[in-house]
Chains A and B, each alone.
Chain A
Amino acid sequence: DSGVTQTPKHLITATGQRVTLRCSPRSGDLSVYWYQQSLDQGLQFLIQYYNGEERAKGNILERFSAQQFPDLHSELNLSSLELGDSALYFCASSFSGTGPYNEQFFGPGTRLTVL
């Protein structure tokens, strides 16, 4: 158990809908990262938050957004869902306080199925 929790584990929804994925980082970790894992794209970085502020953006679609709250949990919002958004979404956290070499700890993921 990495200490990173994600809810829900599974999500099945229809095209055009909006969903919210939730992540709680390890205690003490200030950075939260979101990744998407799909068969055709592999593991791709979406976005990073550090202590409530956006730090970096990767291949995140405009239909997707995220935020990190004062208690450091994070939510990833996916809207106008398309079939191609079906994937495993991972949240990871790291301390980041002493440098960028700290490993990231991954949650179990949320499997999103868009029908």
Chain B
Amino acid sequence: AQSVAQPEDQVNVAEGNPLTVKCTYSVSGNPYLFWYVQYPNRGLQFLLKYITGDNLVKGSYGFEAEFNKSQTSFHLKKPSALVSDSALYFCAVRDREDSSYKLIFGSGTRLLVRP
């Protein structure tokens, strides 16, 4: 069965510092991996995805994520956090072998960037 774990309910970081939001996944085949962000009272916004190739993926708003197959992880990173990055972040996975295109989401991690 496919699953995604986001082990931290909340991540606190000071503005200007690097941030990491952790994600590990479990799929029977090879994964497609995604990060989404949700601002209050808004829908989910796509940030970035891993399909194949380079393990470091760059996305919107300066975010990047590193795919690590041996650790089955896809951590979201940003070199310098902004207060406006404060939001709810979701990691999602899709199994390439799954004929359905559905996304399986993690439980979400709230990022709080303090000034």
Residues of A in contact with B (beta carbons under 8 Å apart):
2, 4, 31, 33, 35, 42-45, 48, 55-56, 58, 90, 92, 94, 96, 100-101, 103-109
Contacts and interface: CB of A to CB of B under 8 A. Distances in A.
A104 B108 CA distance: 17
B43 A56 contact: no
Contacts of A35: 105
B100 A103 contact: no
A56 B102 contact: yes
A58 B43 contact: no
Contacts of A109: 43
Contact of B44 (A31, A45, A90, A96): A90
Contacts of B90: 43
B72 interface: no
Nearest to B90: A43
B101 A56 contact: yes
B22 interface: no
Contact of A105 (B46, B98, B101): B46
A26 B16 CA distance: 36
Contacts of B101: 31, 33, 48, 55-56, 94, 96, 100
Name which of A90, A106, A108 has the most chain B CB atoms within 10 A of its CB.
A106
Given A33-B102, A42-B106, A100-B96, 16 more contacts: A2-B43, A33-B101, A42-B108, A45-B102, A55-B100, A56-B99, A58-B102, A92-B44, A94-B101, A100-B94, A103-B46, A105-B46, A106-B36, A106-B44, A108-B42, A109-B43
B51 interface: yes
Given A43-B90, A48-B100, A55-B100, A2 B108 contact: no
A103 B49 contact: yes
14 contacts: A4-B43, A42-B108, A43-B105, A48-B100, A55-B100, A56-B101, A90-B43, A92-B44, A101-B51, A103-B34, A105-B46, A106-B43, A106-B44, A107-B43
